[in-house]
Amino acid sequence: MAIRVENGVFQLETANTLYQMKADAFGVLNHLWYGARTDCCMDYLLDYPDVGYAGNIYEAGDKRTYSLNTLPQEYAAYGVGDFRIPAVSVTHEDGSSALDLRFQEYHVRKGKYGIPGLPAVYADENDAETLEIVLKDTATGVEVVLLYGVIAQADVITRSVIVRNNGTTSIVINRAHSLCIDIPYGDWEWVHFHGRHTMERQVERVPLIHGIQESSSTRGTSSHQQNPAVLLCEKGCTETEGFCIGAALMYSGGFQTQVEKDQLEQVRLVMGINPDTFAWTLEAGACFHAPEVILSCSEHGMGLLSHRFHEIIRNHVCRGKYKLSGRPVLINNWEATYFAFDEEKIEKIAKQAAELGIDMMVLDDGWFGKRDSDTSGLGDWFVNETKLKGGLGRLVERINRMGMKFGIWFEPEMVSEDSELYRRHPEWAIRIPGRNPMRSRYQLVLDMSNTEVTEYLYQVMSQILRENHIEYVKWDMNRSICDWYTRTLPKNRQMELPHRYILGLYGLLERLTGEFPDVLFEGCSGGGGRFDAGMLYYCPQIWCSDDTDAHERTFIQYGTSFFYPVSAVGSHVSAVPNHQTGRMTSIRTRGTVAMAGSFGYELDLNKLSPEEKEEVAGQVRAYKGYQDLIYNGFYYRLSNPHEENRCIWAFVSKDQTEALVQGVVFRAASNTLRARIRLAGLAADAEYRLTESGHVFTGKALMAGGVLLPVIQGDDVSVEMHFRQVQQ
Ligand code: DGJ
């Protein structure tokens, strides 16, 4: 049993970790431990200091050292004397906000709980268990149900929360975070992922300051600027050593991660829907379901933690035909043509791609409505016959006849004011009556909480997918959302819209991915603006960034790799000079970088020299040969591009018989030693042959002594070394 309850202690055991909590004599649920397995009840670590201005619950009588403000809480509520960041806060009918949560009951079940309308980790009955702990505010009857999913072999615990209004009057939920975890001891740093459009998920690791630090989004999407994933590391934690905890929120809307270091140096981490763009009226008898957090920890550094997240996301979050299988190598026309194409141009690109071994042609933005620039056409999902003269069906057939699959781009959640859809249904766009809406990329956002809108989108999209042999959909979303207002809700409930938008989006994705299980859905939001575990439940890959510059991509993919598996990372070779940075890099370097992902091309291959075309054909062959290793092997970060003159990574097969080291050395230097790189994850006692030279090394030597990188001439030079275990 992964979940055991002994002497009032709740123990969640995974293969290598232990999570413990206990309700004390007052029914307060104390968090006891999250870390390595200890085979011991950890309540001896609870301390009861006499801290000035820390209040005491009434029943504690004259025990002035018993305080919610100093005890590690499993789920901290607002208004009852814990002055740290709360996980939950509500307003009652009388205007008061206290929520005094005490233990009521618990239930243990086989299998993993699901969450109505929201993505959640799934697992077979035998691979997971669920613990439900019910906490109650007796004065009002409001209950908070804490949900724990234990996927023992994966070393993962999931958390979610249900707020149940068992009272007789409605309440307003001001915040209902999915995760609250208190860590009383240790010297902690946090790692979060910040960025911008075309430079997502930059790693920032900083010591905690006293007070609250936050990473969040109020943009209606998980955003380019911050990512809903966070690491807490003990000082000195490296890729291979030291303790760290990771949490990833399965949610694609505005989120909030807060970390507080309090007056006693204790740390609290909370994570969930961003309360700045949220308030939810809960009628008597109703429930609210918060999204899920995936939680894991590692005693052996961040590399192992990443493996755990990669495995759980790949095996228990992603779904559908392409979840574990190889993916087609694709060519996308966006950077090749932007809006200026016709069927002839597309067919020419596809023909050349087919000759080089590429599997799928993806037709990006501009194939529909009046769409010659980004000022018009969104919402009009019918083919633009000026560009595609014979219609979509004929183009698909022709591409298929070349032996290629066909994929297509949609931006379903958006509408242009200059579109037939907007002229017909201006009321479907999110905007506040009496105000001009904020435009972004000239477009407005459709109200995804309105079922008329989602029904329309389902009808048009499913018809296109039914009538044409389309095997891939790129689901784009190109702006942040504001002007929150919906006709579907009364005025006192408008703050529900950001979350209802996400529920509408997920509902539509569920319907379409369910009806078209053979279609590969790739998520996108101006690149990686909605790169989160929620989207990965519907789309097993997401376009990682609109920055296709190989040099900058190494930083973006480095940051992405902390939580998200390589198979989830859409990555393409594009033209030089690079369209985002103007940088020149060789076709080989661009290929190496794009191979650390779901591989493709995004340029007019006809413009390449014969030598470059040969290189492309070789890359496609190599990728197909390595795809299993890249997707199913363990991914190792072998250098930190923020600190070193290189970004090097490796894929090691799970049976440790094969390793592929890839990367980029940024700047050449004269009169210097070659750089040395240490491998990881090999069988120490085995021997490995370097394919390129035939040289044989022991696993121990490669991991302790490392290997010298080739002599580098020029900047941004690709490195690739393949090792195979020598069979004894
Ligand atoms: C943003 C995406 O990230 C690009 O790849 C491309 O699809 C454009 N949108 C099209 O408008």
Q: What is the DSSP string of 382-448?
A: SB-TTTSTTHHHHHHHHHHHTT-EEEEEE-TTEEESBSHHHHH-GGGB---TTSPPPPBTTEEEB-T
Q: Strands 360-363 and 443-445: what pairing? A: unpaired
Whether the CB-CB separation of 258 and 214 falls below 8 Å is answered with: yes
Atom of ligand 1 nearest to the CA of 546: 3
Q: Which of 363, 367, 476, 531 gets mutated to test ligand 1 (max ligand atoms within 8 A of its CB)? A: 476
What's the gap between Cα 639 and its chain centre? 22
Secondary-structure breakdown of the chain: helix, strand, coil percentages, each rounded to the nearest 5: 25, 35, 45
Q: Which of 333, 338, 362, 364 gets mutated to test ligand 1 (max ligand atoms within 8 A of its CB)? A: 364
- Total residues found in the chain within this entry: 728
Q: Which of 200, 334, 545, 598 gets mutated to test ligand 1 (max ligand atoms within 8 A of its CB)? A: 334
Please tell me the distance from the alpha carbon of residue 127 to that of residue 147, in angstroms, as a whole number: 17
Q: What is the pLDDT of residue 241?
A: 97
Catalytic site residue from 82, 365, 532, 615: 532
Q: Which of 543, 574, 602 gets mutated to test ligand 1 (max ligand atoms within 8 A of its CB)? A: 543
Please tell me the distance from the alpha carbon of residue 12 to that of residue 25, in angstroms, as a whole number: 21
Atom of ligand 1 nearest to the CA of 474: 7
- For 487, the token pair is 């006709």
Look over the chain and give the mean of its residue pLDDT values, rounded to a whole number: 97
Catalytic site residue from 612, 628, 715, 720: 612
If one looks up domain 3-316 in CATH, what number appears? 2.70.98.60
Q: What is the mean pLDDT of the segment spanning 563-587?
A: 98
Q: Name the region of 591 (left: φ>0; alpha: ψ -120 to 50; beta: rest).
A: alpha
Q: What is the pLDDT of residues 29-68, one digit of tens each?
A: 999 999 999 999 999 999 999 999 999 999 999 999 999 9
**8-state DSSP, 607:** G
User: Measured in angstroms, how far is the CA atom of residue 516 from the centroid of ligand 1?
Assistant: 23
Provide the edge-to-edge strand list for the sheet that holds 717-725: 634-637, 646-652, 658-665, 717-725, 687-690, 696-698
Q: What is the mean pLDDT of the segment spanning 530-550?
A: 98
Q: What is the mean pLDDT of the segment spanning 397-425?
A: 98
CATH 3.20.20.70 for domain 330-632: yes
Q: What is the pLDDT of residues 288-311, one digit of tens each?
A: 999 999 999 999 999 999 999 999
**Residues 6 or more apart from 311 whose CB is under 8 A from it?**
154, 565
User: Measured in angstroms, how far is the CA atom of residue 476 from the centroid of ligand 1?
Assistant: 7
Residue of minimum CA distance from atom 4 in ligand 1: 526
- Which residues sit with their C-beta closer than 6 Å to ligand 1? 334, 364-365, 409, 476, 478, 524, 526-527, 543, 546
Angle CA 228–233–238, to nearest 5: 115
Whether the CB-CB separation of 172 and 91 falls below 8 Å is answered with: yes
Per-residue HEC secondary structure of 10-40 comes to EEEECCCEEEEEEECCCCCEEEEEEEECCCC
Percent of the chain with pLDDT over 90: 99
Residue 126's SS3 state is helix
Atom of ligand 1 nearest to the CA of 527: 3
Residue 201's SS3 state is strand
- For 29, the token pair is 């649920």
Whether the CB-CB separation of 256 and 274 falls below 8 Å is answered with: yes
Q: What phi and psi values does residue 599 have, to the nearest 5 degrees?
A: -80, 145
Atom of ligand 1 nearest to the CA of 409: 7
What's the gap between Cα 180 and its chain centre? 19
User: Measured in angstroms, how far is the CA atom of residue 199 from the centroid of ligand 1?
Assistant: 15
Tell me whether residue 532 is one of the annotated catalytic residues.
yes
Please tell me the distance from the alpha carbon of residue 470 to that of residue 472, in angstroms, as a whole number: 6
Q: What is the pLDDT of residue 452?
A: 98
Residue of minimum CA distance from atom 11 in ligand 1: 365
Which residues are 659's β-sheet partners?
A: 652, 723
What's the gap between Cα 594 and its chain centre? 19
Residue 727 pLDDT > 90? no
Select, from the ranges 381-385, 669-673, 724-728, the one with the highest average predicted confidence (pLDDT).
381-385
Percent of the chain with pLDDT over 70: 100
Q: What is the pLDDT of residues 121-152, one digit of tens each?
A: 999 999 999 999 999 999 999 999 999 999 99
Whether the CB-CB separation of 125 and 171 falls below 8 Å is answered with: no
Q: Strands 405-410 and 280-282: what pairing? A: unpaired
Count the neighbouring beta carbons within 10 Å of the beta carbon of residue 692. Answer: 11
Residue 1 pLDDT > 90? no
Whether the CB-CB separation of 137 and 100 falls below 8 Å is answered with: yes
User: Measured in angstroms, how far is the CA atom of residue 409 from the centroid of ligand 1?
Assistant: 9
Per-residue HEC secondary structure of 625-650 comes to HHHHHHHHCEEEECCCCCCCCEEEEE
Atom of ligand 1 nearest to the CA of 334: 6
**Residues 6 or more apart from 494 whose CB is under 8 A from it?**
484, 485, 486
Whether the CB-CB separation of 574 and 591 falls below 8 Å is answered with: no
User: Measured in angstroms, how far is the CA atom of residue 710 from the centroid of ligand 1?
Assistant: 37
Whether the CB-CB separation of 483 and 444 falls below 8 Å is answered with: no
Q: What is the pLDDT of residues 196-211, one digit of tens each?
A: 999 999 999 999 999 9
Count the neighbouring beta carbons within 10 Å of the beta carbon of residue 671. Answer: 4
**8-state DSSP, 245:** E
The class of domain 646-725 in CATH terms is mainly beta
User: Measured in angstroms, how far is the CA atom of residue 535 from the centroid of ligand 1?
Assistant: 17
Residue of minimum CA distance from atom 9 in ligand 1: 526
Q: What is the pLDDT of residue 144?
A: 98
Atom of ligand 1 nearest to the CA of 374: 11
Strand spans (E) along 540-654: 541-543, 569-574, 598-602, 634-637, 646-652
Which has the closest alpha carbon to 416: 465, 481, 476, 369? 369
User: Measured in angstroms, how far is the CA atom of residue 503 from the centroid of ligand 1?
Assistant: 24
Q: What is the mean pLDDT of the segment spanning 404-420?
A: 98
Please tell me the distance from the alpha carbon of residue 28 to that of residue 11, in angstroms, as a whole number: 16
Residue 512's SS3 state is helix
Residue 236 pLDDT > 80? yes
Tell me whether residue 43 is one of the annotated catalytic residues.
no
Domain ranges, ordered by start, for the chain = 3-316, 330-632, 646-725
- For 279, the token pair is 């308030």
Residue 728 pLDDT > 80? no
User: Measured in angstroms, how far is the CA atom of residue 228 from the centroid of ligand 1?
Assistant: 22
Q: What is the pLDDT of residues 554-570, one digit of tens each?
A: 999 999 999 999 999 99
Cis peptide leading into 710, omega within 30 of 0?
Answer: no
Please tell me the distance from the alpha carbon of residue 162 to that of residue 148, in angstroms, as a whole number: 11
